[in-house]
Amino acid sequence: MQKTHYVSSDILDLPILKEIVQEGQKLELSEEAVLNINKSYDYLHSRIAKDDSPLYGINTGFGALCNVKISSENLSKLQENLVTSHACGTGEHVPKHVIRLMLLLKIQSLSYGHSGVQLQTVQRLIEFFNHDYLPVVYTQGSLGASGDLAPLAHLALPLLGKGAMHVDGKILEAKEILQKHKWEPITLQAKEGLALLNGTQFMSAYGTYILLRAHKLSYLADVIAALSMDAFDCNLSPFDPLVHLARPHRGQVKTAERIVSLLEDSELAKSEKENVQDPYSFRCIPQVHGATKDTIVFAHRTFKTEINSVTDNPNIFVQDDKIISGGNFHGQPLALALDFMSIALAELANISERRTFQLVSGLRGLPDFLVNNPGLNSGFMIPQYTAASIVSQNKQLATPASVDSIVSSNGQEDHVSMGANAATKCYRILENLETVLAIELFNASQALEFRRPKKTSPFLESFVSTFRESVSFVDEDRLLADDIHTAIGFIQNISVDPDVLFN
């Protein structure tokens, strides 16, 4: 039986989002959410009816046009014009899994009752989500302040019967979808367009999706690194708890504990070593992987706060009888977290590529480029090139977006976060990291075969055995791009216990 998630004021967190998306749960407004939405809407329209003083974006223009008063008969047209005129997205289509999160997070934000929207507007967004009708949204157009205006305008267009939607693998006009279900286009009321467009749901959706995958890749980086350690015949002494309790960064301690656990009962790990020390890319795994873990935890905390917040403007406070124009749409907290995460994820890829380099270098009894008859066979020479090129690209992508700003709206919006650019760059780094880890796994599994008959730990032997069902040992040169893509798919399809990921 398909589960239903009731949208309410209960705290959303990554494990809950993971369940909603992966299990294909349907959304439904809780009684609390319906009450909050209706109270806010009724209060706003009562206020407008008895008081015609300027309220930003409700009976005034937007941005630099905030001092232009709009007559009461044009309030609905004002909101429709806002959505239509702001749909200026360009670039690639936002991935559907991110759009799904954008819808969910926009619904959640509107449900708190500080936005003044109609109940039917939120319910229509829920219909879109439940039918998996996903508005076509573009990656370019948001400055990460004033809300993610252009992306969210495209998200809102289908409410008006405009724009396009992803439906069953096709892109269809939104008006076709509305006609199919006999849904009338929504007539936006006062402030609704602004409530839909103001907000950080583009940045937040990217960030939460990146975090879901980052937790998993952080864990797999440890698993693959442990495999590389045995393949390279490394010492376990640098992972002694005493070393890490003397410098107890949480991520560092956790990484060292995990590596020791992953290598438990490994013949290779227990064997006598000829080398007193290992290269930093092996010896400093706890320090480097651990720092990335701590960064992910910081970003997780930031995004958890954001996805449980109201980020449109103005905000309506019924109990306090106030409508306040503020700046909760400004994406600076997210931009900084995304930039920090970009650097941290790029470093996981960086150290992974260095381990791959060591494995193919003909050291410690391993053949040059991990292949029999090197020379006739180039073996694993070029996968390392590929990893190196990706790592170099990551260094360019990790340049912070949040230190940039550009003036817009005639100087009214004079400092912006560039968090949307930070989000799309971080997404690219995440995908690059996945590829670099897949290449390390491909190399480490090959190198391990040259250590036979000695074995690694039972856990890692099982892990490699499963990998070998998809990618076989390389006896002689073959088309390795196919193996790399298969290795990427292997990593993508691995299921990891949420208790391991989020604790």
Whole-number Å distance between alpha carbons of 72 and 58: 10
Whole-number Å distance between alpha carbons of 462 and 471: 14
Whole-number Å distance between alpha carbons of 202 and 419: 9
Enter the tokens of residue 128. 């879109």
Catalytic residue, candidates 41, 43, 56, 206? 56
Total Cβ atoms within 10 A of residue 206: 30
Burial of 2 (0-12, 13-18, 19+ CB in 10 A): exposed
Strands (DSSP E) along 302-349, which ranges? 315-317, 322-324
Whole-number Å distance between alpha carbons of 99 and 345: 23
56 is known as an active-site residue = yes
Strands (DSSP E) along 226-364, which ranges? 315-317, 322-324
Q: Which residue, among 104, 134, 101, has the nearest Cα to 212 in the 3D structure?
A: 101
Total Cβ atoms within 10 A of residue 493: 8
Total Cβ atoms within 10 A of residue 174: 23
Enter the tokens of residue 447. 């190198």
The length of the chain in residues reads 503
Nearest-10 crossing angle of helices 96-110, 149-156: 90
Whole-number Å distance between alpha carbons of 266 and 46: 72
DSSP 89: -
3-state secondary structure 242-271: HHHHCCCCHHHHHHHHHHHHHCCCCHHHHC
Q: Which residue, among 88, 156, 84, 89, has the nearest Cα to 125 in the 3D structure?
A: 156
Residues tagged active-site? 56
